[in-house]
């Protein structure tokens, strides 16, 4: 039986897995010359690929191109620019195809094996010239540079987001790592921000897609920063098989090991995204237990994490539990409000603020001390079953409005 102790966190991000290299350069899309704005991830051999995409009806041109490219379940490289979303542009698909072709020519691979992504301002034409001039340096710079690639995909993010873990499958050590960007317009449904994951585990395209689609339902789809679903959200996984394990083609012990490793990566990145929400000062984690069904638990957790009033209360370190109950009440989930318990927790302690749907005496001073911490847990017990779910978000601050008040400038 696979044991969790066989999995460990390692260095390297998307370059931790065998055969993967990365790079990031400033090509000129952004005015700030100190900011990388073009990123590349490359596998030395063709890889099996899987992806999930935004459900927003307005989709960025790169998503349309990527979807076509990996329809065969194969990819070998990922190119992503920041500073311009290449969305709602008449020639957007043409530009995305050109990005693929220019990179493919430089790498000597097929253009159809390139995943294309863009992030930034919507509705502004994307000039191919700086990308074309930047690709040779990008390819030349390939190496163990996961952090460069992570920086190259950032927009309003304030922190690099990357992780890697090792695990065992089929008696062989496998590695999986990821980078992502996401700070605003975070309210995914069947997809998320921009997330790129690499692994040297041998797993079929079909099982890779199954693993990813299953995982995101409980990870990236449970993150919300501001309630806005982006046009360019995408999660992509490349698996090149260089670890040498027997290929995973069905459910079983090895698939379970891969799923747990993937989940470790995605949960970490979820927390990074939520904690780095635009203007955020706190990471919020809403844990719902005692639900009759998993769907009820998810609905309640996400309703609370999306509540602007709850988020504002957390910013002010105000233990206003009524806002939590209010969010549960309008969630649409069939719950017995007279059974609900609510606690707030952090490394400073835990405090019960609501029991059986009613307020209890508690120390406001103690509650404030708990809510002044950077990471806050909102613990909700519905006391109606055994299902549980977790959602992630952040507080709502003055700076969120400032950032989005002049985003284009």
The answer to whether 43 and 76 are in contact (CB under 8 A) is yes
CA–chain centroid gap for 283, Å, is 14
The answer to whether 122 and 84 are in contact (CB under 8 A) is no
d(CA 130, CA 112): 22
- From the CB of residue 160, how many other CB atoms can be counted at a distance below 10 Å? 19
The answer to whether 186 and 277 are in contact (CB under 8 A) is yes
The pairing of beta strand 74-84 with beta strand 38-53: antiparallel
Active site residue 192: yes
Q: In the structure encoding, which two tokens stand for residue 395, read together?
A: 């507080």
Catalytic residue among 156, 192, 199, 397: 192
Residue 222: helix, strand or coil by DSSP? Answer: helix
324 Cβ contact partners less than 8 Å away, ≥ 6 residues apart? 304, 307, 310, 342, 354, 378, 380
- From the CB of residue 258, how many other CB atoms can be counted at a distance below 10 Å? 25
SS (H, E, C) 167-217: EEECCEEEEEEEEEECCCCCCCCCCCCEEEEEECCCECHHHHHHHHHHHHC
- The catalytic site residues sit at 192
């Amino acid at each position: 039986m696979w044991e969790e102790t066989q999995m460990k966190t390692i260095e390297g991000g998307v370059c931790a897995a065998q055969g993967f290299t990365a790079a990031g350069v400033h090509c000129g899309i952004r005015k700030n010359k100190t900011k990388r704005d073009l990123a590349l991830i490359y596998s030395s051999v063709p890889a099996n690929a899987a992806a999930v995409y935004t459900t927003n009806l307005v989709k960025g041109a790169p998503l349309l191109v990527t979807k076509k490219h990996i329809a065969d379940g194969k990819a070998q490289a990922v190119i992503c620019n920041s500073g311009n979303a290449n969305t709602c542009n008449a020639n957007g698909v043409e530009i995305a195809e050109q990005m693929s072709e220019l990179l493919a020519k430089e790498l000597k691979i097929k253009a159809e094996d390139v995943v294309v992504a863009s992030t930034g301002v919507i509705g502004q034409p994307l000039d191919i010239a700086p990308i074309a001039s930047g690709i040779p340096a990008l390819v030349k710079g390939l190496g163990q540079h996961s952090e460069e690639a992570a920086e190259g995909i950032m927009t309003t993010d304030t922190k690099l987001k990357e992780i890697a873990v090792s695990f065992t499958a089929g008696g062989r050590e496998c590695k999986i790592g990821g980078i992502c960007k996401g700070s605003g317009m975070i309210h995914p449904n069947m997809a998320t921000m921009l997330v790129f994951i690499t692994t040297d585990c041998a797993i079929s395209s079909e099982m890779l897609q199954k693993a990813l689609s299953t995982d995101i339902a409980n990870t990236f789809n449970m993150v919300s920063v501001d309630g806005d679903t982006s046009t360019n959200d995408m999660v992509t996984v490349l698996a090149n098989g260089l670890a040498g394990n027997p290929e995973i083609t069905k459910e079983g012990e090895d698939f379970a090991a891969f799923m747990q490793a993937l989940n470790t990566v995605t949960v970490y990145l979820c927390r990074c995204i939520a904690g780095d929400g635009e203007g955020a000062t706190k990471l919020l984690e809403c844990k719902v237990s005692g639900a009759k069904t998993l769907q009820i638990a998810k609905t309640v957790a996400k309703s609370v994490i999306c509540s602007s009033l709850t988020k504002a209360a957390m910013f002010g370190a105000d233990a206003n539990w009524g806002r939590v109950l209010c969010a549960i009440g309008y969630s649409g989930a069939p719950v017995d409000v007279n059974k609900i318990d609510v606690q707030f927790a952090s490394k400073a302690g835990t405090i019960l603020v609501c029991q059986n749907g009613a307020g209890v005496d508690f120390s406001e001073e103690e509650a404030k001390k708990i809510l002044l911490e950077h990471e806050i847990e909102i613990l909700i017990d519905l006391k109606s079953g055994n299902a549980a779910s977790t959602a992630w978000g952040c507080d709502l601050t003055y700076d969120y409005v400032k950032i989005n008040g002049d985003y284009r400038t």
